Chain A
Amino acid sequence: MSADLAFAPVADLARMIARKEVSPVEVVRVHLERIAALDATLRAYITVCDEAALAAARGAESALAAGRPVGALHGVPVALKDLYDTAGVRTTGGSKILADRVPEADATVVRRLKEAGAIVLGKLHMVEFAYGPEGLNAHHGAPRNPWDAAAARMPGGSSSGSGVAVAAGLAPAALGSDTGGSIRIPASLCGITGLKPTYGRVSRAGVLPLAWSMDHVGPMTRTVADSALLLRVMAGYDPADASTSVLPVPDYLAALSGDVKGLRVGLLRSFFLESATPEVRAAVETAAKALEKAGAILDEVALPAVAHVGAASYAVVASEALAYHTGWLKSRPTDYDPEVRKRLQLGAFITGAHYVRGQQVRALVRNEVDAALARRDVLLAPTTPLTAPRLDERQTTLGDGPSEVRGALIRLTRPFNFSGHPACAVPCGFSTGGLPIGMQLVGRPFDEATVLRAADAYQRLTDWHTRRPVLA
């Protein structure tokens, strides 16, 4: 029963709790017991809010007993990447610099989750200040990918703890943030679902920034339906975040019809499939055929401008990150992870003209993705071109030649941070070595409903998302 509860979808937990078939106290306790048993090895959490979570669960139980109206996530535990402000609970950004920082207020999305009844289990491990895709952290030690913890493989980052916690049943759902792929990369490497919404769909107020114009926040879950459920709660205009849209928030769950008949899917081969390793390429091509067999209309499309995203987004991210970190870089330089400090220092050698060039390329890329989606409903590509590398691996070989691991991990996700389009990563297979393979579906701005419908339909056709890692 406890393992069943630990791996139950959020939607099932919410329904069982609302019907009093299971107590929120039991659900929270099951997760705290797994964290106690497994997290010394997996290192998903920086802070576990055990007493507060149990107290909130008892409150949730009392509310049900009293017959009070409850929210969509009543009694359901969630965990947060440690860059979401939490009132009274330290929020470190995975850093030494903010090790003792305790915010006075919750981030907007945390407040919305709590208002819907969710219970915060704890704060999750991450790359320092979210600046890196591997999932490494010099201060806290790297979390272990649960699919091969013995071989010490990367969980992916920067939302490393979020990927590990959800994959290992240490949380039914987590929040991540995604500046170059930091929700989708750990989702791909850990075999879970991760949704990067449209830029402006979800408030970033109270979330530590890496690069304001590229940062997105979103859910990480085991099923697409659960991401739809969380997005409904999280999304919407927030006066505290000027980038948020006033567009109404649809009922994303209601959009999950399971039907892809007539859905136009553009497979991204050039740059995307071509750079994937043979196993990843084969898995994504098989997934495309599965959607086609279910009635989708498949064609291939190219996005030539994405070849320049590496240089352009580097100019933007490094400049914005340096702007945020200048004070600490001067006053506390030795308190940074040396690798992160180096990445920040490089921003000092980028000119204003470089930054503007980057923004010009962004216009090209955004227009190109918009044009591709004018005649298609979603685009399909691998999430990462490779499966989880070992923690000490720095070089790899992709489908189109040798590459640094860091660059390889963000290569296929970063274009859609740059363009701002919504993208949902889902597992679509396993390597011969037993490591998850991920694909992403990309949609029109603010059309998360179609992206989620396609991704959910794929999960109804396959069982990759139901597989669990074997944990000692």
Chain B
Amino acid sequence: MDAVFDLATLRGAARVAGFTWTDEELEALRPVIQASLRLLATLDTLPLDAVEPTTQYRIL
């Protein structure tokens, strides 16, 4: 079951990130945000606990 985020939640999250976006703008973004959060949630299902995160730097 997906979490559904209302405008107040999105407004708050945007403010935490340092942005003040209009309700109209956030409403237009809302379906895309929902879809992107669904996509990101798939990462939480992967067996990554023993995997050290990397960047691409190869010291050569």
Provide the residues of chain B in CB contact with A246, threshold 8 Å.
60
| Known A-B contacts A346-B32, A446-B60; A311 and B51 likewise in contact (beta carbons under 8 Å) | no
Count class of interface residues, chain A: 35 or more
Total number of residue pairs linking A and B with CB closer than 8 Å:
102
Closest chain A residue to B41, Cβ basis: A311
| Known A-B contacts A245-B58, A356-B53, A363-B52; A315 and B19 likewise in contact (beta carbons under 8 Å) | no
Interfacial residues of chain B within 29-50, with CB under 8 A of chain A in the complex: 29, 32-33, 36-37, 39-40, 42-44, 46, 48
Closest chain A residue to B13, Cβ basis: A349
Q: How far is the CB of A315 from chain B (nearest CB, A)?
A: 6
Q: How far is the CB of A418 from chain B (nearest CB, A)?
A: 8
User: Among B14, B29, B43, which residue has its beta carbon within 8 angstroms of that of A315?
Assistant: B43
Provide the residues of chain A in CB contact with B43, threshold 8 Å.
308, 311-312, 315, 354, 357-358, 361
Tell me whether chain A's interface is mostly helix, strand or loop, or mixed. helix
Provide the residues of chain B in CB contact with A245, threshold 8 Å.
58, 60
Closest chain A residue to B49, Cβ basis: A360
B-side interface residues, number (CB < 8 Å) = 30
Provide the residues of chain A in CB contact with B17, threshold 8 Å.
348-349
Provide the residues of chain B in CB contact with A356, threshold 8 Å.
53
Which of A310, A311, A356 has the most chain B CB within a 10 Å cutoff? A311
A346 touches B33 (CB 8 A): yes
Provide the residues of chain B in CB contact with A198, threshold 8 Å.
58
A327-346, CB under 8 A of B: which get 1 and which 0?
Answer: 00110000000000010011
User: Among A326, A342, A357, A358, which residue has its beta carbon within 8 angstroms of that of B18?
Assistant: A326
Residue ranges of A at the interface with B (Cβ–Cβ < 8 Å) = 198-200, 213-214, 242-243, 245-247, 308, 310-312, 314-315, 318, 326, 329-330, 342, 345-346, 348-350, 354, 356-364, 366, 420, 445-446
Mind listing 28 A-B residue pairs with CB under 8 Å?
A198-B58, A200-B57, A200-B60, A213-B55, A242-B57, A311-B42, A314-B36, A315-B43, A318-B36, A345-B29, A346-B29, A348-B19, A349-B13, A349-B17, A349-B33, A350-B40, A357-B43, A357-B44, A357-B46, A360-B53, A360-B54, A362-B54, A363-B52, A363-B54, A364-B48, A366-B54, A445-B60, A446-B60
